[in-house]
Amino acid sequence: MDTPPQASTRLTDLPAWKALWSHFTRAREWHMRALFEADEQRAERFTLEHQGLLLDYSKNRITGQTMTLLLQLAEQCGLRARIDAMFAGARINETEDRAAFHVALRSRGDTPMRVDGADVMPQVRAVLQRMARFAGAVRSGEWLGHTQQPITDIVNIGIGGSDLGSQMVCEALKAYAHPRLRMHFVSNVDSSQLKETLRQVHAQTTLFIVESKTFTTHETLTNAHTARDWFLHRAQDEAAIARHFVAVSTNAAAVAEFGIDPRNMFEFWDWVGGRFSLWSAIGLPIMLYLGERNFLALLDGAHAMDGHFRDAPFDANMPVVLALLGIWYINFFGAGSHVMAPYDQYLHRLPAFIQQLDMESNGKRTTRDGQLVDYETAPIIWGETGINGQHAFFQLLHQGTHVAPIDFIGSLDGHGSLPGHHEILMANMFAQAEAFMRGRNADEVALELAAQGVDAAAIRRMVPFRVFDGNRPSNTVLLERLDPYRLGALIALYEHKIFVQGSIWKIHSFDQWGVELGKQLAKTIHAELLAHRPPQAHDASTAQLIARYLAVNAQRRC
């Protein structure tokens, strides 16, 4: 009997990896049109449904054999053990020596979820209750500002994982929002964002939430200090801060030092990664805007996806299947990017959110045992609402030279849409996926032109430009409707997809050391710009840019 491969075996030495390469030499010749024609059951066979989410992955350059080999790859990479370790609260974020236990944040019921033997659920529930009490008070008008007026505006100050998730969800579920509350998100240290936001709000009726896991992020703290000065200038009373500033962090000491009363701090824990944190107190803006019930429904949807991910066999497991399709294109077809195309205006921040989730997690080139990879890892994630993309960059996707798989995301229920709009929207989404798959060959173009009365010579000239090769892969994710539950499930689907890919690539998905060097250099240069420090040895280009900046600003100061 063959010995099963060890989880430590290099990816490229695994039997399934080698089998996939040999399979690929045939697969790259297939056209999806022919695959559909050859198999009437194809759509049904390559569709999964779970918790109000349908994933149709039939428009991919795969056969049953491809999926079998990809699933073998997952097995040979020890994916089962990785999933079990995550759900067991093991310290799988090894380079930061932490668990990555966001599944505990949306765990419902009485099952203990342990990190280092200790059940974290009592603290998770306690914080949720505090958040709910606070959100309830603000929403009902019981929580008043320092001049006894109810809160009308909430300004979230945070960046990256302390901004994108809450912002994306608040946008996506606007239809569920409290009618009195307006949400604002400030992440950029470019003061124009804060300035424009403050122009729209009043100190008496604004609540600032300062969100930072570390509470050391320069951009966030600078914005928070400026917002505090702005507020104090108007309120003229330090005591008023307690009615208008709350913090969300893992760093209580830094929050206190900033001047926010620890009673106004909502905590979370080091086992929650920043980009996986919207389910924790970092989701306070969501709970404020949408209410406790909707926030819990978001958690429930994610929890249902967690159960599916943990328990479903890999061939029926949505995150695993999505991840494997990604591997197929990135590692075999050489696709360097992946497009997120939501056909829903409310989901317009989803591409940016998934971009951080995926690229910060899997944008790595060192394996967990410290070797350099000899294969590609995370693709560049980009995108835009599909309808806008169609009139902008889809040209390249249809006829350009890059292979970029696309995820189409839309909802079936057009309830709430203005008459006539939803059908047009969804018709476009289905049509694009069909066009990317089928393409249009030279005969079809010629026939169409002839039917329009174009003469033969002109047809010959026009055909090359109007041919679409098709065979461009896409997944379609249909939500029964865009509601908190389905959105929770959708986000968790992508979180787990990313974890599966990282597991197969044998990289650490939960750290982000690549962001550190820029932060350090910025600190040094910042001091130089403030002329607190003589310029360090920089390369000629950087030195020149700093000198030019100093010269212009010195002139302005004179």
Give whole-number Cα distances, 554 to 277, 304, 532, 539, in Å: 42, 58, 14, 22
> Interface with ligand F6P includes 220 (CB under 6 A)?
yes
Q: Which stretch binds ligand F6P (CB under 6 A): 113-121, 212-220, 256-264, 404-412?
A: 212-220
For the bound state, the minimum distance from the C-beta of residue 275 to ligand F6P, rounded and expressed in Å, comes to 5
* Min separation Cβ 112 and ligand F6P, Å: 27
- Alpha carbon distance 67, 328 (integer Å): 9
Task: Read off the tokens for 58.
Answer: 């039939």
What ranges in 28-120 are assigned the alpha helix state H?
32-38, 42-45, 64-76, 79-87, 102-105
CB 135 within 8 A of CB 284: yes
**Residue closer to ligand F6P, measured from CB, 255 or 449:** 255
Long-range CB pairs of 132-141 (<8 Å, 24+ gap) are: 132/287, 132/292, 132/295, 134/246, 134/266, 134/284, 134/288, 135/284, 135/287, 135/288, 135/291, 135/292, 135/295, 136/291, 136/292, 138/181, 138/207, 138/288, 139/178, 139/180, 139/181, 139/288, 139/291, 141/180
Pick from 383, 336, 162, 143: nearest CA to 245: 143
Return the number of the residue (217 or 337) whose C-beta is nearest ligand F6P. 217
| 38 sits near ligand F6P (criterion: CB under 6 A) | no
Amino acid at 285: P
509 is a site residue for ligand F6P (CB under 6 A): no
Nearer to ligand F6P, 273 or 405 (CB): 273
274 binds ligand F6P (CB under 6 A): yes
369 DSSP 8-state letter: T
What's the rounded Cα separation, in Å, for the pair 386 and 389? 5
Residues in contact with ligand F6P, shown as a per-residue x/- string from 160 to 199 under the rule CB under 6 A = xxx-------------------------------------
- Among residues 51, 66, 217, 411, the one that binds ligand F6P under rule CB under 6 A: 217
Active site residue 523: no
What is the number of alpha carbons within 13 Å of residue 257 lying toward its C-beta? 8
Burial class (CB in 10 A: 0-12, 13-18, 19+), 558: exposed
Nearest-approach distance from CB 273 to ligand F6P, in angstroms: 7
Q: Answer yes or no whether residue 410 interacts with ligand F6P by CB under 6 A.
A: no
The catalytic position among 29, 233, 391, 516 is 391
- CB closer to ligand F6P, 345 vs 366: 366
Question: Which residue among the candidates 174, 218, 421, 519 is catalytic per the annotation?
Answer: 519
Instruction: Considering only residues 231 through 250, tell me which ones interact with ligand F6P, judged by CB under 6 A.
Output: none
Please say which residue, 157 or 297, places its beta carbon nearer to ligand F6P: 157
Footprint (CB under 6 A) of ligand F6P, residues 330-369: 360
Q: Which is nearer to ligand F6P, 275 or 303 (CB)?
A: 275
Nearest alpha carbon to residue 408 among 397, 419, 396: 397
Helix-strand-coil split of the chain, %, nearest 5: 55, 10, 30
Amino acid at the residue 77: C
User: According to the binding rule CB under 6 A, does residue 156 interact with ligand F6P?
Assistant: no
275, 364, 422, 506: which one contacts ligand F6P (CB under 6 A)? Answer: 275
Annotated catalytic residue 508: no
Closest approach of ligand F6P to the CB of residue 269, in Å: 13
Interface with ligand F6P includes 93 (CB under 6 A)?
A: no
Judged by CB, which is closer to ligand F6P: 219, or 483?
A: 219
The site for ligand F6P, by CB under 6 A, has a size of 14
Which one, 15 or 259, has the nearer CB to ligand F6P?
259
Of 23, 98, 213, 349, which one interacts with ligand F6P (CB under 6 A)? Answer: 213
Distances (CA, A) of 315 to 72, 149, 323, 498, 548: 10, 55, 12, 17, 58
The answer to whether residue 283 forms part of the interface with ligand F6P (CB under 6 A) is no
Q: Report the C-alpha gap between 57 and 212 in whole angstroms.
A: 37
The reply to whether 519 belongs to the active site is yes
So which residues are the catalytic ones? 360, 391, 519
Interacting residue ranges for ligand F6P, rule: CB under 6 A: 159-162, 212-214, 217, 220, 274-275, 360, 512, 515
